Structure 1
């Protein structure tokens, strides 16, 4: 059996603005627009995020409270610094500064424009 995660969904106040933000930051492509506020953004590995219209404001949570807490985006080691710079230039709230540890694993935590937590990760050797 071949199982994978096709997409996750983010409910947002402004789905167009948020989906464009992800598309531009991560070089994605809008592959679905129902003309009613639902968008799918696809990334180079064929994973997707669905953006749906929320009926209330997002209440940002702390990084370590229980529940699903972040989306991790993988980036090649030689592209990590450039993407960190791109994130910083968006004015995103940085939760944990970009670091590369002694094993060469680069990480950074930040919020998107609606307060959702994102994680950049760069591994010289993938876990799988």
Structure 2
């Protein structure tokens, strides 16, 4: 059974991710020229109190097509604000874009050819191969792909055997009942991967 048939999540996926920039022209150039996303929507957003929106009025809010009917968006904040720390709780550590294996090497070559420093690709175990770099705003980005013998979907590719999941959950919970509870929530592979 594939992961979409097993999924009980009421969401289909990402509608949009919204980040902050203080240099929208440079951000537009990077995401369209380097990452080859299309700019698809430009607008201004009025300030609305008590809605969790940015604390500025009439902000630019621009959207890029990340593929598969999902958007990446940026708000343009005033210059001179402090930068966030991606390595503190509540921060976003990085964004990983899935790249089909047959397009991975060419896309890395394109990004490097645009003058971007890329770390990797590195093997992360199992099917995971990743390469890391930063956008002009300091947002850490990742290209993730599979170099394993199985070409599952993204969700199916991370499924584990019960033994693998039990071992890891046991490092988080001392109570076996809590481990069993969480194992009961997870779709599992019948056997550990040989890869």
TM-score by length of 1: 0.80
Structure 2: runs of 5+ lacking an equivalent: 1-8, 45-58, 156-195
Counterpart position of 1:11 = 20
Whichever of the two has the greater Rg, that structure is 2
In terms of fraction of residues, the more helix-rich structure is 2
Mark the CA change 1:58 to 1:122 in structure 2 (over 3 Å): closer, same or farther: farther
Q: Work out whether 1:68 is the aligned partner of 2:92.
A: yes
Contact 1:60 1:116 in 2 (8 A): no
Q: Work out whether 1:39 is the aligned partner of 2:62.
A: yes
Partner secondary structure for residue 68 of structure 1: coil
CA distance in 2, matches of 1:109, 1:85: 13
Counterpart position of 2:101 = 77
Correspondent of 1:125 among 125, 131, 152: 152
Correspondent of 2:83 among 31, 38, 59: 59
Identify which range, 33-42 or 109-118, moves more after superposition. Answer: 33-42
1:58-104 CA-to-partner distances (Å, cap 9, x unmatched) read 63646x5433111111111011111111222232243x321246745
Mark the CA change 1:88 to 1:60 in structure 2 (over 3 Å): closer, same or farther: farther
Contact 1:16 1:37 in 2 (8 A): no
CA distance in 2, matches of 1:20, 1:2: 35
Counterpart position of 2:38 = 29
Contact 2:131 2:142 in 1 (8 A): yes
Partner secondary structure for residue 67 of structure 2: coil
Q: Work out whether 1:89 is the aligned partner of 2:98.
A: no
Structure 1: runs of 5+ lacking an equivalent: none
